[in-house]
Amino acid sequence: MSYLLRRLIALPLVLWAAVSLVFFSIHLIPGDPVDMVLGETARPADREALRARWGLDRSVPEQYARYLTGLVRGQLGESYSFRRPVSDLVAERYPATLLLAGSAMAVALLLAIPLGALAALRRNRPIDRASMLVALLGVSVPNFWLGILLMLVFSLWLDWLPVSGFDGPASVVLPAVTLGASLAGILTRMTRSSLLDELGHDYVRTARAKGLGTRATLFKHALRNALIPVVTLVGLQFGALLAGAIITEKVFGWPGIGALLISGVQARDYPVVQGCIAVIVTSYVLVNLVTDLLYSAIHPRVRLGESA
Amino acid sequence: MSATAGLDRSSRAGLGLLLVIALCGVLAPWIAPYDPGRPDLRHGLEGPSLEHWLGTDVEGRDVASRILFGARVSLSVALAVVVVSVAFGVLVGGIAGLLGGWVDRGISAVIDVLLAFPGILLAIALVAITGPGLGNVILALTLLGWVAFARLVRGEVLVLRGDEFVVAARALGATQRELLLRHLLPNLVGPVTVLATFAAAGAILAEASLSFLGLGVQGLPSWGGMLDHGADVFLLAPHLAIAPGLAILLTVVALNIVGDGLRDRLDPRTAAASGQPGL
């Protein structure tokens, strides 16, 4: 079976496994969502009406089948707390999350490629050590803590940037740096090691022997090749950024799907929790698939599914 | 040979730092200056002083004592997640690699599906549903934690099973179980230890993230939970957010440094990268 076919089959399987795990976890634990919304003192008639409206009067297998059928049609159910279709809520908030993840990716690339390249070119010198220290801190820092510190310094002490919410381009800066810090650390290390690897190849020596300058050798040859694995990693990490945005959105009051998920978790609004997870997992898997396919297109030496 | 032989200076420093943090956690009941749970409302939100080195929180509890006790929670969660993930991952990956055939294909399919999950998202969802608490946090983080170990071990076993020592052991009548436990496992200790170090760092960050979202360990002082409370009042008392964040950062940095050092020691190719010619 071709690799592409296997990946395409795996796509709905992953989504099915994720939503099923969440669905059954919700239904296996004790507690009635109607009690949570109406309180335990509500009139039985009101309770029954709400149970019927949400389909909770049916058996669990029947609810599961209805949920999966709805999911295939793009219906994610109705939110308990917002009393609106979850698909509408997700559609309203998803662009903000994509903007945040895209900006975080841009921040990570803008920091990581120059820093990683500089570290490789000046290896074992102070600038290399400083870059690697910054990268280590980037991958180790809890991003919600970094967000709080950035907010404290740049919003409250210096008053340069907005504290929270989504209000113009300036409000993207701090959440994007917060979310992108970890990826910047990973990419800096990757750029450095990949470039060091390329600099050891014969073609670099040949280019230099032919009289090509340092800058031309670096930008026309070595860096171009060194960035292939970095680009792959960027693609694979974009999905992780979408998932990681949940916490950053909470710190900055960012009106994205992560904040919606957290509000769903706090209100025990299970259709919202299920819907957000379905959307994030789908995006995550799709982005990873597209990255894999692009990687094989950019780099024909790699045979999909056969590379180590 | 000592455990730290071959490790570079920074890795040894990381290991030392890690030991100090672990000791702080273990000895917390004896070295903490105050009871971490005892409120003292008259001294709420005080800054660092000689009496309270890291100040006090909203309820007047001593932050330094809570940081020391918080080390117990963070390190316990990391240890539990890593031990269970290693045990299960090594077993499943070992079986897949050793038996091959449909067993390997089936296990590999499950691994592929689980690796496609964003781990933190699922952990958030599961703890949100099952309720916060030490056990549920460990369970949620282990549910996907074993997968990386299974994939690593499967790959290693696939490489090793053609080696002469395995062929010889088979010829001498070793059972599959003996092969895995007595012959293959000792060869897997290195790569598994490296992955375990990074997994522990990941588990500490994940636990802190869950606690920050109010889904972590309840009733015990945890660094993520302290950060969550500190974030609410960080205008009034920045130390409340800075101290637990620094504790998490130092622990994760130490684990990552040790992991990097172990990896370089076990895989000379990564270490050699820094010795190659440049422009």
- pLDDT value, residue B26: 94
Q: Which chain A residue's Cα is nearest to B116?
A: A285
The amino acid at residue B174 is A
CB–CB contact B116 A200 (8 Å): no
Is the CB of residue B65 less than 8 Å from the CB of residue B19?
no
Q: Which chain B positions have a beta carbon within 8 Å of A209's beta carbon? A: none
Domain for residue A228, yes or no? yes
In three-state secondary structure terms, A78 is strand
In three-state secondary structure terms, B70 is helix
Domains plus CATH for chain B? 68-269 (1.10.3720.10)
CB–CB contact B126 A25 (8 Å): yes
- pLDDT value, residue A31: 65
Domain containing A220: what range?
86-307
CATH number at residue A104: 1.10.3720.10
Interface of B with A in 43-82 (CB under 8 A): none
- pLDDT value, residue B2: 52
Which residue's structure tokens are 């130092």?
Answer: B250
CB–CB contact A137 B249 (8 Å): yes
CB–CB contact B248 A218 (8 Å): no
What number of CA atoms fall less than 13 Å from residue A285's CA on the CB side? 24
Is the CB of residue A144 less than 8 Å from the CB of residue A251?
yes
- Residue A165, sorted as left (phi over 0), alpha (psi -120 to 50) or beta, turns out to be left
CA distance, residue A14 to nearest chain B CA (Å): 5
Is B231 an interface residue toward A (CB < 8 Å)? Answer: yes
Biggest CA–CA distance in chain B, Å, is 75
Domain for residue A46, yes or no? no
- pLDDT value, residue A263: 85
Confidence (pTM): 0.85
Domain for residue A245, yes or no? yes
- pLDDT value, residue B7: 73
Q: Which chain B positions have a beta carbon within 8 Å of A137's beta carbon? A: 249, 253
How confident is chain B (279 residues) per 10-residue block, as mean pLDDT? 66 93 93 86 81 85 92 93 95 90 87 77 81 88 92 89 84 83 84 92 92 84 88 82 93 93 72 47
Nearest to B35 by CA among B20, B23, B52: B52
In angstroms, the CA B224 to CA B211 distance is: 5
Domain for residue A244, yes or no? yes
Domain for residue A51, yes or no? no
Q: Given B213, B249, B279, which is nearest A142 (Cβ)?
A: B249
pLDDT digits (tens), chain A, 308 positions? 566 677 777 778 877 887 887 788 777 766 677 777 777 777 888 888 888 888 888 888 898 998 889 888 888 888 988 889 999 999 999 999 999 999 999 999 999 999 999 998 888 889 999 999 999 999 999 988 999 999 989 988 888 988 888 778 889 999 999 999 999 999 999 899 888 888 888 888 888 888 887 778 878 778 888 887 787 778 778 878 888 888 899 889 899 998 898 888 777 788 888 888 888 888 887 887 787 777 666 665 555 444 43
Enter the tokens of residue B30: 């004896």
CB–CB contact A140 B201 (8 Å): yes
Q: Which chain B residue's Cα is nearest to A144?
A: B209
The count of structural domains within chain A is 1
In angstroms, the CA A30 to CA A109 distance is: 46
